[in-house]
Structure 1
């Protein structure tokens, strides 16, 4: 009977763990489920090896490991037995078949679902990995300064301070990185902060989440842009916020609307992306920035400023962040190097008054004791040596060329199907399909042809409104010129079923700004 149970449940899988460990695990499962009872005799190593068609040494090794852990015991001249010291359990089902012996894939306990319901999910329409992907606006990791980062990582790993970096460190993040980052922000963004006002995080999203947990209580009002950023909205909703959606036009969030609403009831916080707003890429005008700061001082709300890709602006010097002129302490400034270097380099930051930073660090410690000190120290060295600044300068030129190339391809190849304005900066182009074209249907068709593109669903979130999903955000940095040309050709094939008249490929790429 025991051999039959093992024949049913034991699966040889040499790609994962050694065979003797797999057998050990199966025997433990049978004991825990009550199939094997305390004091019950086990088959001899020879019998079990023949039954399972494995080497006898494998069974011997499994029995020895089980004995060392106290699951089984050997009796002189009698053989191997389930340990008599284990508690007796009963088989949970009379249907002793392979399905009943498998571990349950459903939780055996109640749990709380805190994931916000947003009604918008991304669609992976491709049955296999796509040939190309036009993403949401990511950098090209192939040009990132990875060699320099690995060089510093290796050097630090061999230094006399290695043991220190491999032990627990400050939950605020590497002290040296905070010092170098404060200097970098002061130099490039006109800020005036010290390392005490900086918290290192694993990307911007962690910083947004921590700030939200500190500021927002259930029922608090948070103003967010519409269209906007899904992941930030989810963080606010998870904290129990009531979201109020503020329209975005060519000059950014509608500050007139914000002022009108504040007269009725001021928000707890306003989430803003003033530079290269996501998804529309527009920049909040200087006039609106000043008015927004004035409203924050008047009504006492916080401004959560997400500056996710400050470094890439092509028509002029970028407008400095609101945090650079924050004299009243209303702004929590968040950003990262994920867009400057590569998404996989999880170095983000939060800048706020010291007392807020200390609270955020204490909260971060509960979910993630600290960051990776070696990576943070290596990043600090790249900042200090100027490697990151040189990389930004180099990539700035490359991405500007890719922007021009992508705009040309879109005009020439897809001008009959969509319209767009050339952005002044950022890592993506915001476009709208012409009225007879479905973004979701196009994404589905493109996926079948080998191209993954946005289906237009994760931009608008205001409940009770019917907004056609005909917009698309086109990341142009992660594909080189040849790759982008091939990707757009596939995209054009996906759009072929649509009738092009009265549109033509020479049609203007201008479209009316969002109202």
Structure 2
């Protein structure tokens, strides 16, 4: 963005006069959310307080108070005679800081108060527009709900009610885990046993449990930049301080990571090594080995998130770092059966047995019950090869959609974008070659019936990019969506040149 005044603050800083939360706290929370979503990129110079007060319609003393708190938290830097800047590089992570007023703030309702989080604000938007891009979700229209329903009902009818329920749960769960760890060993090249596996209700729960056990207040965690907003929120909520490291064409930049390790004690590196979110980059073979060596040298834990393994579309899948981890530095997270109906998918964690045993203690509080029927259905699907059959069928469909989507991008946006064809996953990361504001692009697309959620928009001083999920669209929907993108871009550029 050429000038701080050009930043459309009103489009993402939403202040509500009727809200019981003080205005200065609303400003703090909204700025933190905008920074985490990449709407205010690192190094951005903010307008002067007088100008910003006129834009946001707030009192200058209120804004100054909010900025002082944001600076104390490490989100901005106020430089005398220069201006106010979103912090760049690693400045916000150096040294200790006191817990700010915003972090300590409680919100009172009725006769009690409770802690407010400035981290866990929900950034997800909803729309009823006929066409919608997402960040790479599967198509629910391809889900075989009828088959799963029949299996589930048959298990209910055959249930041996005479046996003690606790015994039924234990036996069924152990049988499921046996089939599941064999399945993971076969498909992902792991060498685990039942004691190295924990299954959870979702991928998000898996990361929450791992963060709770590994991280303490003030621990440093390295993540790829750009990164995944939800995982960053989970890690930050645990009390960790996030250090972003750039991702280039070979994945996480390990020279930069090593430099960080030489100056800070890193507790964890959160890594999407096979299909980086959002840029879809694969960590190169050379860097994969170097990453394991760095973990051994500096003693940090690699939390490897393989969130989209189900959708490798070309040749054989690349195996995770966990498959070649000789020194047990990797905690491997993944999801299972994303093509099944909602509620039938699973998250899982593989790690050293002692770590899994400790995780189970926390899971018993968070997820005390076991859905025996669901586990029996999935056990049957694995044993009968139905999971492989469904996966193979859906991959053919999604590969055809990817190839069609790539052709449409090349036809309608040629010369305006650059991208690599992803070998897995259901999204394409495109970088725009023209300079324009993505929020204005979002608004222009919405006028034409296409929804672009802010969570797929990435804009910094040196990059304008978008993660476009194609998996949930058929060919006709893709054609219409890309056509709207092209027309909206043309309209924006023409307006700018007038």
Counterpart of 2:259? 260
Residue aligned with 2:429, SS:
strand
Q: CA deviation at 1:163?
A: 7.8
1:109 equivalent to 2:112? Answer yes
* Distance (whole Å) between structure 1 residues aligned to residue 117 and residue 170 of structure 2: 26
> How big is each residue's C-alpha offset from its partner over 1:100-155, in whole Å with a ceiling of 9 and x where there is no partner?
xxxxx95541101235168x93455x5xx111211110112222333332222111
Residue aligned with 1:295, SS:
helix
Q: Aligned ranges for residues 113-262 of structure 1 at < 5 Å? A: 113-116=116-119, 121-124=123-126, 126=127, 129-161=128-160, 174-262=173-261
Counterpart of 2:477? 483
Q: CA deviation at 1:213?
A: 0.3
> How big is each residue's C-alpha offset from its partner over 1:168-222, in whole Å with a ceiling of 9 and x where there is no partner?
9869992222111101111111111112211111221111110000000001111
CA contact (8 A) 1:172 1:361 kept: no
> How big is each residue's C-alpha offset from its partner over 1:444-466, in whole Å with a ceiling of 9 and x where there is no partner?
22223322123366658xxxxx5
Counterpart of 1:365? 364
Counterpart of 1:397? 396
* Distance (whole Å) between structure 2 residues aligned to residue 305 and residue 342 of structure 1: 25
Q: Aligned ranges for residues 348-387 of structure 1 at < 5 Å? A: 348-387=347-386
Which structure shows the bigger proportion of residues in strand conformation? Answer: 2
Q: CA deviation at 1:496?
A: 3.9
Counterpart of 2:468? 474
Q: CA deviation at 1:416?
A: 5.2
TM-score relative to the length of structure 2: 0.72
Instruction: Return 5+ residue gaps in structure 2 as ranges.
Output: 1-107
- Which protein shows a greater Rg? 1
> How big is each residue's C-alpha offset from its partner over 1:304-351, in whole Å with a ceiling of 9 and x where there is no partner?
010011233334322211111122221111111253445653411111
> How big is each residue's C-alpha offset from its partner over 1:3-57, in whole Å with a ceiling of 9 and x where there is no partner?
xxxxxxxxxxxxxxxxxxxxxxxxxxxxxxxxxxxxxxxxxxxxxxxxxxxxxxx
Counterpart of 2:296? 297
Q: How many residues end up aligned between the 2 structures?
A: 390
4+ aligned runs moved over 4 Å, structure 1: 162-173, 456-460, 500-503
* Distance (whole Å) between structure 2 residues aligned to residue 165 and residue 488 of structure 1: 57
Change (3 A) 1:458 1:133: closer
CA contact (8 A) 1:171 1:362 kept: no
* Distance (whole Å) between structure 2 residues aligned to residue 445 and residue 168 of structure 1: 59
* Distance (whole Å) between structure 2 residues aligned to residue 346 and residue 442 of structure 1: 34
CA contact (8 A) 2:172 2:375 kept: yes
CA contact (8 A) 2:332 2:351 kept: yes
386-395 vs 339-348, which deviates more? 339-348
* Distance (whole Å) between structure 2 residues aligned to residue 162 and residue 494 of structure 1: 61
168-177 vs 301-310, which deviates more? 168-177
145-154 vs 185-194, which deviates more? 145-154
Residue aligned with 2:213, SS:
helix
RMSD (Å) for aligned C-alpha atoms: 2.9
Q: Aligned ranges for residues 261-300 of structure 1 at < 5 Å? A: 261-300=260-299
CA contact (8 A) 1:199 1:350 kept: yes
* Distance (whole Å) between structure 1 residues aligned to residue 495 and residue 116 of structure 2: 49
* Distance (whole Å) between structure 2 residues aligned to residue 243 and residue 131 of structure 1: 37
Instruction: Return 5+ residue gaps in structure 1 as ranges.
Output: 1-104, 461-465, 504-515
CA contact (8 A) 1:168 1:370 kept: no
CA contact (8 A) 1:456 1:470 kept: no
